[in-house]
Amino acid sequence: MPKALIRICVNVGKERKIRDTLRRLKEVKMAEITAGEQDVIAIVEGKSFEAILKTVTAKIRKNDGIKITWTNFILE
């Protein structure tokens, strides 16, 4: 099944809210708060890479507090 690592930069103080929101999505298999360039990382699965992009644009990026996302498809 196609997977992607989603790196998410959020507004200060929104880290836990975003993580918890992502954890409720069926496509999100893991979401954690991190230190570094991104604030939250998530593993997303879908039937296709296109389905993952749809999840990112329609369900993840729309959340209040997200500044930017980077989608890294997992190939192997």
> CATH number of the domain that 42 lies in?
3.30.70.920
State residue 26's pLDDT score: 97
Identify the H or E element spanning 55.
helix 49-55
Domain hosting 41: range is: 3-74
pLDDT tens for each residue of 26-58: 999 999 999 999 999 999 999 999 999 999 999
Q: Is the pTM of this model over 0.85?
A: yes
How many structural domains does the chain have? 1
What does the DSSP assignment read for 1-52? --EEEEEEEE-TT-HHHHHHHHHTSTTEEEEEE-SSS-SEEEEEE-SSHHHH
Rounded Cα gap, residues 64 and 46, in angstroms: 23
pLDDT tens for each residue of 8-29: 999 999 999 999 999 999 999 9
